[in-house]
Amino acid sequence: MSYYGNTAKPYGGFYSDQGMQNGVSHSKPKFAKHFYTEHTAVSHRSREDIASFFELNGISVTGNNIPNPILTFEESTYPAHIVNYFKKQSWKAPTSIQSQGWPVALSGRDLIGIAQTGSGKTLSFVLPAIIHIGAQPPLAYNDGPICLILAPTRELAQQVASVALEFGQLNNVRNVCVYGGAPRGPQIRDLRRGAEICIATPGRLIDFLDQGQINLKRCTHLILDEADRMLDMGFEPQIRKIIQQITPGRQTLMFSATWPKEIRRLASEFLQDPIRINIGSLNIHANHNITQIVDVLTEYEKENKLLTLLEEISKEPENKTIIFVETKKKCDTIGRSMRRYGWPVGIIHGDKSQQERDWVLNEFRSSKTTILIATDVASRGLDVDDIRFVINFDFPKSCEDYVHRIGRTGRANSKGTAYTFFTSNNFKQSRELVEVLTEANQQINPKLIEMTNIRGGGSTSRGFSRGGFSQRGGSRFRGSHHGNTYGSAKSGFQSKSDTHYGGAYNYNQHDNLHSSNTNGNSNSHTTYQNGYRNNALG
């Protein structure tokens, strides 16, 4: 049976009938967006059990009428073939964002999902999108997609498309990936053939909308992955233009590992009565599976340090490494220099042709190259499960970018190490970086702490005073509205006075690195850190 012909609504449901948006009057569309019947075990779970589940996993949720979380794949109520797929992967349970995100998304609610890098956000939105599609009438000739997923970079769009393909195939849901730098012909052909899901970068999508190659009249499910990055890249006008063309009453979901205040305004404009799920600290925070090491040094020392570091990393049995630098030019310069020293490196940045970008990334994924030098084009969302090391040759523009960059390692349940070169030019970020390190129980380089004292080491708006959603009553999602607030709502940071920077760790001693990280990561590479540290700081 073709899934597209399936007008039966397996989950029954609520129909949206909103008619006005952005000042534009629309005829009242009717479409199903609530497909969720709670598993009895989920309905019967006590408040205490839910509270302890939240506490254990650092989950906090705010909003109205929040559905209960699910604890097992069976409780998801997904069709058996999807549940079996999880089992074949030997996955034990839904990740925290999936546990709470799936019931929210399947209930037709707007959602903000903030969870650590590598914590399974992609499936948090792809699977509910597939179920949403299954409950809509089939696409007719010339119909555009039912679900639109926006992503900031071409590589991320392609990666999300590969997940949508994998799970879509199980459900007869087709997808098209629309992104710049690649020939338009095949993308247009796929659109004409009909695709229930369109994954797109904003630029090429706008081109296609302007040319009438695609329309969003059937689109009732909108997802913005890495929404904050899209804003950062200046895509706000494009996003507005795209959203204006989407059915009012649509379901809108936004996901990221970071949620700076700039994006909250857009979210409050485009989401209706959202439920916000936050995993871990309510402030900016990194994945705790990553050991973070910051080296304070001068610009001139960086290249030699990199060479020494690569030498040591190459001795590790698993050593796939991504090196982030600030500019495209520097990417090429460092890349050439590394090659001269005999390191076979791949280089990826925005001035490379898309064909080359795809080739380089594929070589890296398949381990034909094990070192990739990249600009921030590779900092968001990319899921290469065996990256063990991230090196920030240059510190990024913001600590959000830092969190995403280092998050290329430590995917799912794996562990990784991030080395960061930090110079006096970066001092403005030192305070927020110390917060991120402290929150993740990392040992902190005293030289970095010293930097926080240089004229404050960072502006107050992005420094210690940054309260995220938890501390201030004025937040639009917490404390200031009538919705419920569940969960552990960890603030994450100690005040400056009661923070023990460095703890028992002594950056100038050889002996105590092996067991020093309080997050339990042990990494044989720490031997090297000692010598390196002594050189760097001595």
Task: List residues near ligand ATP by CB under 6 A.
Answer: 91, 94-95, 98, 115, 117-123, 257, 381, 383, 385, 407, 411-412
Asked whether position 404 contacts Mg ion by CB under 5 A, the answer is no
Residue number with CB closer to Mg ion (122 or 171)? 122
List, in sequence order, every beta strand (DSSP E) within 6-161: 15-16, 20-21, 24-25, 31-32, 59-63, 111-114, 147-150
AA letter at 415: K
Beta-bridged to residue 342, according to DSSP, are none
Residue number with CB closer to ligand ATP (275 or 334)? 275
Give backbone dihedrals phi and psi of 135, rounded to 5 degrees, phi first.
-95, 0
Give the C-alpha distances (Å, rounded to integers) separating 271 from 116, 274, 328, 452: 22, 6, 35, 37
> Closest separation between CB of residue 120 and ligand ATP, Å?
3
**Which residues does 202 contact at the CB level (< 8 Å), separation at least 6?**
150, 230, 235, 238, 239, 242
Cα distance between residue 444 and residue 429, in whole Å: 14
Choose the contact partner of 411 out of Mg ion, ligand ATP, none; CB within 5 to 8 A by kind: ligand ATP
| Length of the chain as a residue count | 538
Number of residues binding to Mg ion, judged by CB under 5 A:
2
String of DSSP letters for 301-326 = GHHHHHHHHHHHHTTSSS-EEEEE-S
Choose the contact partner of 407 out of Mg ion, ligand ATP, none; CB within 5 to 8 A by kind: ligand ATP
Asked whether position 152 contacts Mg ion by CB under 5 A, the answer is no
Residue number with CB closer to ligand ATP (95 or 247)? 95
Cα distance between residue 128 and residue 103, in whole Å: 9
Q: Return the range that interacts with Mg ion (CB under 5 A); candidates 66-74, 322-330, 335-343, 380-388.
A: 380-388
Choose the contact partner of 119 out of Mg ion, ligand ATP, none; CB within 5 to 8 A by kind: ligand ATP
Choose the contact partner of 120 out of ligand ATP, Mg ion, none; CB within 5 to 8 A by kind: ligand ATP
Number of Cβ atoms within 10 Å of the Cβ of 362: 12
> Closest separation between CB of residue 407 and Mg ion, Å?
9
Asked whether position 468 contacts Mg ion by CB under 5 A, the answer is no
**Residues 67, 120, 152, 381: which binds Mg ion (CB under 5 A)?**
381
Choose the contact partner of 457 out of ligand ATP, Mg ion, none; CB within 5 to 8 A by kind: none
> Closest separation between CB of residue 300 and ligand ATP, Å?
32
Cα distance between residue 171 and residue 83, in whole Å: 13
> Closest separation between CB of residue 122 and Mg ion, Å?
5
> Closest separation between CB of residue 231 and Mg ion, Å?
16
Asked whether position 120 contacts Mg ion by CB under 5 A, the answer is no
Consecutive H or E run containing 487: strand 484-487
Q: Return the range that interacts with Mg ion (CB under 5 A); candidates 62-70, 114-122, 295-303, 384-392.
A: 114-122
Contact criterion met (CB below 8 Å) for 370 and 397: no
Asked whether position 39 contacts Mg ion by CB under 5 A, the answer is no
Asked whether position 121 contacts Mg ion by CB under 5 A, the answer is yes
Residue number with CB closer to ligand ATP (378 or 536)? 378
Handedness of CA 113, 115, 377, 344 (dihedral sign): negative
Residue number with CB closer to Mg ion (50 or 160)? 160
Cα distance between residue 230 and residue 380, in whole Å: 11
Residue number with CB closer to Mg ion (157 or 206)? 157
Number of Cβ atoms within 10 Å of the Cβ of 417: 24
Choose the contact partner of 187 out of ligand ATP, Mg ion, none; CB within 5 to 8 A by kind: none
Choose the contact partner of 463 out of ligand ATP, Mg ion, none; CB within 5 to 8 A by kind: none
> Closest separation between CB of residue 384 and ligand ATP, Å?
9
Beta-bridged to residue 80, according to DSSP, are none
Residue number with CB closer to ligand ATP (99 or 443)? 99
Q: To 5 degrees, how large is the angle CA 67–CA 83–CA 112?
A: 35
> Closest separation between CB of residue 177 and Mg ion, Å?
15
> Closest separation between CB of residue 64 and ligand ATP, Å?
25
> Closest separation between CB of residue 213 and ligand ATP, Å?
28
Q: Return the range that interacts with Mg ion (CB under 5 A); candidates 71-79, 116-124, 178-186, 401-409.
A: 116-124
Residue number with CB closer to ligand ATP (4 or 78)? 78
Residue number with CB closer to ligand ATP (70 or 176)? 70
Q: Which of residues 162-201 bind Mg ion (CB under 5 A)?
A: none
> Closest separation between CB of residue 239 and ligand ATP, Å?
18
**Which residues does 97 contact at the CB level (< 8 Å), separation at least 6?**
113, 115, 119, 120, 121, 124, 277, 279
CA 250 to mean position of chain CA atoms: 23
Residue number with CB closer to ligand ATP (197 or 216)? 197
Residue number with CB closer to Mg ion (156 or 325)? 156
Number of Cβ atoms within 10 Å of the Cβ of 229: 24
String of DSSP letters for 132-166 = HHHTSPPPPTT---SEEEE-SSHHHHHHHHHHHHH
Give the C-alpha distances (Å, rounded to integers) separating 526 from 291, 314, 381, 511, 533: 10, 14, 27, 10, 10
Asked whether position 525 contacts Mg ion by CB under 5 A, the answer is no
Cα distance between residue 457 and residue 449, in whole Å: 9
Q: To 5 degrees, how large is the angle CA 245–CA 251–CA 257?
A: 105
Asked whether position 352 contacts Mg ion by CB under 5 A, the answer is no
Helix axes of 261-270 and 236-244: crossing angle, nearest 10 degrees: 10
Asked whether position 101 contacts Mg ion by CB under 5 A, the answer is no
Binding site for Mg ion (CB under 5 A): 121, 381
